[in-house]
C-alpha cells in the first residue's frame, strides 16, 4: 500500500492518493463533503484482499490543494480521470459517497469507457432543491465568517443512524477532526460546485455503464421517500439497502457495503 502525492495528467493538479497497487480489478473510492480519504481507512482492508483499491483526497478536502473559488463536479471528474491515467488504471469500479457520488456521475457522463461499474453510496443524481441551495448558502456564510466549528458540531453525527451513534462515537470524532482540518476555501469551493451541478437522471437512464445504488434506511440527508423515488425512476440500476445505516454506511455497516461492492 502506497500513500503519495501525484500529479493528475491533463489537469496538472497535485492529488493525495492511497493505492494498494495489487489486484486485477480496481475499485476507486471517492469521499463525501467534509471528509477526506481517511474516511476509508478501516474499510479498505475489507476490499484489498480481492481487488486493487485507490482512494484520494478530492481537491479542496483532505490535504489535496484548493485550486479555484469553485470546484465543479465536472472539473473534479477530470482530476479523477487524470489520477487514473497517472496510476495506469484503464478501468475501474467508481464508488462515490455523497458528494463523491456527484463527482462519479460527472465522470460517468464524460468518461463512460473507463468504468466497469458506477456505485452511488448515499448519493443521488438529483440536483439541489431550492431548500438545499439555501442551506449551502448558509454554510458558506458560516465558513466565511470563521464559524466552521458549527458544521463540525452537527454534520458528522447527523450522518449516522440514531442506533449507531454511541457505537460509532470514535468514527464521529474522526469526522469532526476531518472537518476542522479542511481548509475554509476548500469547503466553500466544493459547496459552490455542488450548487452548480445539473440533473443527471436522464444521463444515468441512457448510460450503458452498470449501476448500483446503495441507500441507508435511516439516512437523514436522503430520506426514505427520496431514495425510493430515485430507485423507482432507475429500473436500469441495481438498488441495495442498508437496514441499519444512515448516511455513512461504509462506517456503520462496513462488511455489508464491502460485500455489495465485491459482488458481481
Q: Tens digit of pLDDT for each residue in 131-183?
A: 999 999 999 999 999 999 999 999 999 999 999 999 999 999 999 999 999 99
CA nearest to 230, candidates 93, 123, 115, 133? 123
CB 73 within 8 A of CB 103: yes
Q: Which domains does the chain have, with CATH numbers?
A: 2-262 (3.40.50.1820)
Tell me the per-residue pLDDT of 34-89, one tens digit each, with 9 for 90 and over: 999 999 999 999 999 999 999 999 999 999 989 889 999 999 999 999 999 999 99
Quote the CA–CA distance of 180 and 18 in Å, as a whole number. Answer: 21
Count of C-beta atoms within a 10 Å radius of residue 159: 30
> Measuring CA to CA, how many Å separate 54 from each of 31, 91, 249?
11, 12, 19
Distance separating alpha carbons of residues 192 and 249, to the nearest angstrom: 25
Tell me the three-class secondary structure of 2-37, residue by residue: EEEEEEECCCCEEEEEEECCCCCCEEEEECCCCCCH
- Write down the pLDDT at residue 33: 97
Written as nine digits, the cell of 126 is 438529483
Per-residue pLDDT at 1 exceeds 90: no
* Cα distance between the two ends of the chain: 25
pLDDT at position 264 is 66
| Residues contacting residue 113 through CB under 8 Å, at least 6 positions apart | none
Alpha-helical runs (H) found in the chain: 73-87, 99-110, 130-144, 149-158, 169-181, 184-196, 201-206, 224-233, 249-252, 254-262
For residue 8, what are the β-bridge partners?
Answer: 13
Give the predicted TM-score (pTM) of the model: 0.97
Amino acid at each position: 500500500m502506497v500513500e503519495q502525492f501525484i500529479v493528475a495528467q491533463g489537469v496538472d493538479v497535485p492529488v493525495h492518493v492511497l493505492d494498494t497497487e495489487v489486484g486485477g480489478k480496481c475499485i476507486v473510492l471517492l469521499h463525501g463533503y467534509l471528509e477526506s480519504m481517511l474516511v476509508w481507512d478501516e474499510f479498505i482492508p475489507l476490499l484489498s484482499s480481492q481487488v486493487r483499491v485507490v482512494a484520494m483526497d478530492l481537491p479542496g478536502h483532505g490535504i489535496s490543494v484548493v485550486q479555484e473559488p469553485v470546484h465543479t463536479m465536472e472539473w473534479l471528474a477530470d482530476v479523477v480521470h487524470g489520477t487514473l491515467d497517472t496510476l495506469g488504471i484503464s478501468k475501474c469500479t467508481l464508488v462515490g459517497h455523497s458528494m463523491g457520488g456527484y463527482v462519479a456521475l460527472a465522470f460517468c457522463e464524460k468518461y463512460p469507457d473507463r468504468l466497469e461499474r458506477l456505485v452511488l453510496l448515499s448519493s443521488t443524481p438529483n440536483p439541489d432543491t431550492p431548500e438545499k441551495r439555501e442551506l449551502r448558502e448558509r454554510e458558506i456564510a458560516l465558513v466565511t465568517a470563521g464559524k466552521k466549528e458549527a458544521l463540525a458540531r452537527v454534520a458528522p453525527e447527523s450522518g449516522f443512524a440514531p442506533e449507531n451513534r454511541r457505537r460509532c462515537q470514535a468514527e464521529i470524532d474522526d469526522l469532526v477532526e476531518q472537518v476542522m482540518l479542511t481548509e475554509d476555501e476548500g469547503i466553500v469551493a466544493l459547496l459552490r460546485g455542488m450548487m452548480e451541478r445539473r440533473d443527471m437522471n436522464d444521463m444515468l437512464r441512457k448510460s450503458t455503464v452498470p449501476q448500483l445504488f446503495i441507500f441507508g434506511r435511516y439516512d437523514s440527508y436522503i430520506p426514505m421517500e427520496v431514495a425510493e423515488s430515485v430507485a423507482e425512476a432507475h429500473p436500469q440500476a441495481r438498488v441495495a439497502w442498508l437496514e441499519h445505516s444512515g448516511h455513512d454506511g461504509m462506517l456503520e455497516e462496513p462488511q455489508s457495503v464491502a460485500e455489495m461492492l465485491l459482488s458481481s
